[in-house]
Structures are given as structure tokens and as C-alpha cells.
Structure 1
Amino acid sequence: MIMVTIVVFSHLRWDFVFQRPQHLLTRLARHYRIVIVEEPLHDAAGTARLERSEPLPNVTVCRPRTPLDLPGFHDDQIALVAPLLADLLPPGEMPIAWFYTPMALPLLQELTPRLVVYDCMDELASFKKAPRQLLQRESALLNLADLVFAGGPSLYEAKRHRHPNVHCFPSSVDVEHFAQAQGAVASHPDQEHIPGPRLGFYGVIDERVDLALVAALADDHPDWQLVLVGPVVKITEDELPRRPNIHYLGQRDYADLPRFLAGWDVCLMPFAINEATRFISPTKVL
């Protein structure tokens, strides 16, 4: 049986934080061939090219490299990336086109899709450094899409009047994976030097995290140890509060997260209340 291909356009790197796209696509790969087109990377020394890797069976990650130092699926990047997709699929194949970012929409003309899916996992226009064309391009994608998923109830309410086939599809919890934290698994050795009680958070550290709250918590309770696991994105290291009882352990493999959890007394979710968090639906509350 020939597998149908899903071509995925994503603003998130496959080897970044393991989250909704990776969870869904690894499961879809049991039934479909998955081809992921990531945002271009800058390569001043080379010509435009497409690097391919296969991190899992039926999953191919395509990473464009171009001489342009421009962010994301910028219009000038699109002009260089589009020709690279000419031989992405066998001639005549009609894939499912799956979008995580509307900014890649111009690349749809390189395909003859049987179905267009928009998996809206975040309100990207509310994020820091969002492209100015994002709202306009999302409107165009909503006009073209056959199927729209909203990553949580608030996103669903924001999108359901804009498309006739919108479905609330919240993220969930990898129960088997995280149940390890309640079993016999030992705490991660990289935090064993930190005394208790440990209050932990794992996730992307960006404008959605209330850093002032983290600092105040550390100041009010100097005997509490705050452990933050995750990459720092879109903010500078200088913006991070520094205290003897705040510990930044950086991005870690998804496989390691249960071991960090196993060593925490309390789990934190210190999200700020701002435009970037207005539509989020964090699985950490489940």
C-alpha cells in the first residue's frame, strides 16, 4: 500500500523542544509519510540548498539553507526556497499540506494538495517579533484551508467564526512518559547539587514567563530553590533574574524531563498575563 504524504510547513525546528508538532507527527508517521519543511537557515558561504535528515521512520526533515540573513519564511526567502521544493515529491503526487505557520503559505503553489490543514497551536501574531504580514497571511490560509485545528478552547473561540470547519483539538499529556516521574526513576543528576525544597518549571523561557514573579518568589523565599529547565528564546540572558536560589539548567532532551520532575517538590507554571499568553492552553495544567 502506497502511503499518502503529509508536507508540513513549520516555524519550529524538529530538534527544538519536543512539543505538539513532534507528538502529532510521530504518531501520524505510522500511517503517512511525513515531510517537514522548516524555516530557512542563514549560510553566507553557500548557495541555496535543502538539507534532509530522517530522525524517525517515515519522517523526513527538510532544512533550507540560503545566503539571506532574513528571519523565518520572509518573502525574499520564499523566492529561494520555492525552487528547492521542485523535487520534494514524485511527479504527480498529491500530498496533504499541513501548516503550523501561515507565513509559509506562498510555498503551497509548489504543491498540488489533496487537502490543506491549518493546525493553529498558538496565536503567533501575539508573540514577540511576530512578522507584520502574519495576520494577513493567516486570513488567506483560512480562506484556502479545508480543515482547521485549534490547539485549545480559547483559540477555538477565536477561530471558529472564521472558518466553517474548525475543530477544538487541545494538546494532551504523554501519560506513559511522564508517569516515570512517579515511579522508581531517580532524580536527574544535574540537579542533585541543588538542595530542597525544589520548585521546578520546564518549557520555553520567553516573553510568556513572568520573570518578575520568579524573581519575587526567589526573594520572598530564599530557602526555596527554583529550577528552570528550557531554552531562552526571544529575550536576552540579561533579562533573566539572577539569584543564588534560581537555577537555569538550559534545554534538555524530552527523555530527561521525567527525571527532573522526579526531583521536584512543587511544579510551577509562572506564565505572565499578557497578549502572548491570552490564547495559550498549557498541558502542564492537565
Structure 2
Amino acid sequence: MTQIQLEPDLQPHSSELSAVPLQAIGLRPTLLCLSHLRWGFVYQRPQHVMSRLAKDYDVLFLEEPIFEPQQTPLLQPHVVSDGLTVLVPLLPTGLDEQQVIAAQRQLLDTWLAAHNGGELLLWYWTPMSLAFTDHLQGQVVIYDCMDELSAFKFAPPAMLEMEQRLLSRADVVFTGGHSLWEAKREHHANAHAMPSSVDIAHFGQARTALTEPADQAAIGHPRLGFFGVIDERFDIQLVTDIAEQRPDWQIVLIGPVVKIDPELLPRLANIHYLGARQYEQLPAYLAGWDVALMPFAINESTRFISPTKTPEYLAGGCPVVSTPVRDVVNGYAHSGVVSIASNAADFISAIDAALALRKQSGVVTKRADRALDGMSWDKTCADMKELIECQR
């Protein structure tokens, strides 16, 4: 791609970059992670993976730009932990697409020149980042395809073309689930299914006596819960129908609302929107639920998803009722603790059965443990690292 020069007042200020102490050079490879998700948004696959890989690599987690009026272009660093730094490009409003690409390229080049003297590994969560990194020569290029981003609402029109370019450059491809792997293996010879996993110890706290969060304590039972992003993948009508048909059930929804109009969400007395919560808080909420819900719409945006919350709910000892998401059906439908339902009537029947199952001492946890046997983020990340090291 042709280098595009910025206007003089758009040049990055190196003094802003040098304010951060240089890391030791040459001791560990730098793993540059290019993400479409912000580190502080929802703690999910990127945070689990990068926080573990930071034990062996110096991870730079580059987010998408934030635009502010009269902003001097710079990279704002935030050290999350030893070996893991989040970089946020701050850019002025009013730049066109090519100027945004050029600004990110120059900011990143300046940072790498000052902070990286050893091997560079490139990890892509989004193919769109290739626009300003296609000149970088990574010792290993990794594409972690956690979702079919081209099917999501407001996906850039160039997403599919950029993904093809990335697939042609990648040394190894990971996918967030088996159905996505089946699709991507047709386009890359070194693709591997790495389904999102679970921190069993963290969510296992929900099986113990935890203090009830104040905003949930007054909500009655039976209590049905969901945590996650509420977006175009969320089946609004299904949740509405369940709430209307069973007003004695209380539905607790935890998570940010994005890419959809909040006014479209049902406003019923037995639906409780508690907003986003920190990852550390989730077990305390989960501990107070009778049944966990996964009311995903069945559409193009959910065709290849492998929801992290399935094993998280089970680790907390909570039975699950889900719509027929392919990876959930294939991975958990025979577990005896995850029910699959396609409509409100079936959902209600499955929830009734799950509530009855909870009354059988130890049955839910025994079946959940069997379904989770051998799963952990530590194992997933170790498998990823082994495949990366094979390419070095």
C-alpha cells in the first residue's frame, strides 16, 4: 500500500511516545495484537488469551482509534500487567479513511522503532487492521478468527476482501469454534479449531455461598439470567414472549447494549436490565440464578458463534437453555444440563425441566463437570502457543 503522508499538524509527537520507559530489548518476542474490541469492554476471548500469552511474549494490544476534536495524533499506552500493554490511537476528528490509515501506520511504526528490537509476531483479531500493517514483516502471522465479523451489523464492506488478503499472509489460523473452523479450513491449510474456553475456578465461585449483589437481591425467584453483550444477536422477541407468558419468572439481563436501539428492548415488570458488570462480579450474580439463558437469534450473525458463556454458566453450576446455535448443539446438547429450544413454548418447557432438575441434589453439578472435563483457557492458550512456536 502506498505510504500516505500526513499534514504537518497531524504528525505524531515522538515526545509523547518516549515518555514510557523502554522495555528490555531482545529478551522476548513482541506480540502485536490488532483488535477490534477494546480491552476494557467485556472480558472475553482476547483478554483471556493475551493475559496468558503475556507470560512468554511482550504483548502490545492495539485498539481501534478514538477520535477527538483538535487531538494531536498519539498512541496512549496503558500497562495492564507485566508484559501486557494496551495502546490506544488518539486521532483528530475530520480525517478521511486514508488519513486514518496513514496516521495509525506512522504511530505504530514510531512506537515499534522505539520499543521493539527483537522478533515481531503479528496477531490479528480483525482483518481490517491489515490496511495499516501490511508492510510489517512478522516472524509469525496469526489470524484468530473468533467470529464471522463480515456477518455482523455495520461490518465494513471491505471485510471479506481484507480477510482473503489476511488468510494469504497468515502462517496459522485459529477459530473461535468448530463450525467456523469448518468454514475457514477451506481457505487455509493450517487452520485449527480453538473454541472459547472457561476459567473454571473463577466461575466455580458461583457454587459457593457468595454475597448477593445489592441490585439483584430484591429480585424474586424463579430467576433466569443472561450475561453478555446485548446486540443484534439477541432474540428480543423470544425474551419478550417468555416474560409475557410467565410473569412469575424474573429475567435478569447483564451486559452492555450495543448496535441496537435500547428502546426496542422489552420493558416488562419481570425483566431486569442491570447494565454492564465487571468480569470479577459475574460469579456473584450467577450464584443467584436458577437457570441461565442463551436467547440468541438464529441468523447470519450467529451462524458460526461458539458462546463463551456456555461453559461459564456450567462452571457456576447453573443449567442452561439455549436456542439451537450450531456449536452449542454439537458441543452440549447431549450433556443433560444444556437444553435446546427453538421458540418460546419450547423455551418455557425446557426452563421448567431445568428448574425441576435443580431440585435433584448434585445432578446439575455432576453433569456440568462431565461436560467441562479437560476444558481450560490455560490448555487452549498452551495449544495456541505450541502452534505459534512451530512457525518460528
TM-score range, shorter chain: over 0.9
Task: Say if 2:164 is the partner of 1:133.
Answer: no
Q: Give the TM-score normalised by structure 2.
A: 0.70
CA contact (8 A) 2:73 2:92 kept: yes
Distance 1:153 1:75, change over 3 A: farther
Partner of 1:146: 171
Partner of 1:272: 297
> 1:79 aligned to 102, 111, 115, which one?
102
**C-alpha displacement of 1:122:** 0.2
State how far apart, in whole Å, the 1-side matches of 2:82 and 2:101 are. 28
Task: Say if 2:235 is the partner of 1:176.
Answer: no
**C-alpha displacement of 1:285:** 2.8
2:28 counterpart letter in structure 1: M
CA contact (8 A) 1:186 1:262 kept: no
The structure that is helix-richer by fraction is 2
**C-alpha displacement of 1:250:** 0.7
How many pairs are equivalent? 284
Please tell me whether Structure 1 or Structure 2 has the larger radius of gyration of its CA atoms: 2
1:149-181 alpha-carbon deviations (Å, 9 max, x no partner): 011011001100101110111111110000000
CA contact (8 A) 1:7 1:36 kept: yes
Task: Say if 2:146 is the partner of 1:101.
Answer: no
Q: Give the TM-score normalised by structure 1.
A: 0.95
Deviation beyond 4 Å, 4+ runs, structure 1: none
State how far apart, in whole Å, the 1-side matches of 2:45 and 2:82 are. 18
CA contact (8 A) 1:230 1:250 kept: yes
SS of 2:133's equivalent?
helix
Question: Where does the alignment leave 5 or more consecutive residues of structure 1 unmatched?
Answer: none
Sequence identity (%): 51
1:216-273 alpha-carbon deviations (Å, 9 max, x no partner): 1110011111100000010111111111111111110000000000111111010010
**C-alpha displacement of 1:45:** 2.4
CA contact (8 A) 2:105 2:133 kept: no
**C-alpha displacement of 1:76:** 3.8
Distance 1:228 1:136, change over 3 A: same
State how far apart, in whole Å, the 1-side matches of 2:240 and 2:150 are. 28
Question: Where does the alignment leave 5 or more consecutive residues of structure 2 unmatched?
Answer: 1-25, 312-392
State how far apart, in whole Å, the 2-side matches of 1:37 and 1:91 are. 15
Partner of 2:65: 40
**C-alpha displacement of 1:70:** 7.6
SS of 1:60's equivalent?
strand
SS of 2:283's equivalent?
helix
Partner of 1:115: 140
Q: CA RMSD in A?
A: 1.5
CA contact (8 A) 1:150 1:169 kept: yes
